[in-house]
């Protein structure tokens, strides 16, 4: 039985590299003691075959095998194009 691939939704913040984009994933997390909602942001280097996504796009990324030293994610689909 194969496991389901992890996927996340984030916004592209840089598309200056060839076949690679930087995606910021923002998560809301509640503080354990105080209950305040905190925003957590994490940047991922994501493989984008064909350079289809650009800065400002909302994309869904999927986990994959290691493609390089830092890239372990691919762009699964572009959910929303930037204006």
Query: Strand pairing partners for 24?
Result: 11, 43
CATH node for 7-80: 2.40.50.140
Question: Residue 2: is its pLDDT beyond 80?
Answer: no
Instruction: Give the model's confidence band at 36: pLDDT under 50 very low, under 70 low, under 90 confident, else very high.
Output: very high
Counting residues of the chain whose pLDDT is more than 90, the rounded percentage is: 93
Nearest CA among 6, 2, 3 for reference residue 46: 6
Query: What integer pLDDT is reported at residue 73 of this predicted model?
Result: 98
Query: What integer pLDDT is reported at residue 3 of this predicted model?
Result: 82
pTM of the model: 0.89
The residue ranges of every structural domain in the chain are 7-80
Per-residue pLDDT tens digits for 37-71: 999 999 999 999 999 999 999 999 999 999 999 99
């Amino acid at each position: 039985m194969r496991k389901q691939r992890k996927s996340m939704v984030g916004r592209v913040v840089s598309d200056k590299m060839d076949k690679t984009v930087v995606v910021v994933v923002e998560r809301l997390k509640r503080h354990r003691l105080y209950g305040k909602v905190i925003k957590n942001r994490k940047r991922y280097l994501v493989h984008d075959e064909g350079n289809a996504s650009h800065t400002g796009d909302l994309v869904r990324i999927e986990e994959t095998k290691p493609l390089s030293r830092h890239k372990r994610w691919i762009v699964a689909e572009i959910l929303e194009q930037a204006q």
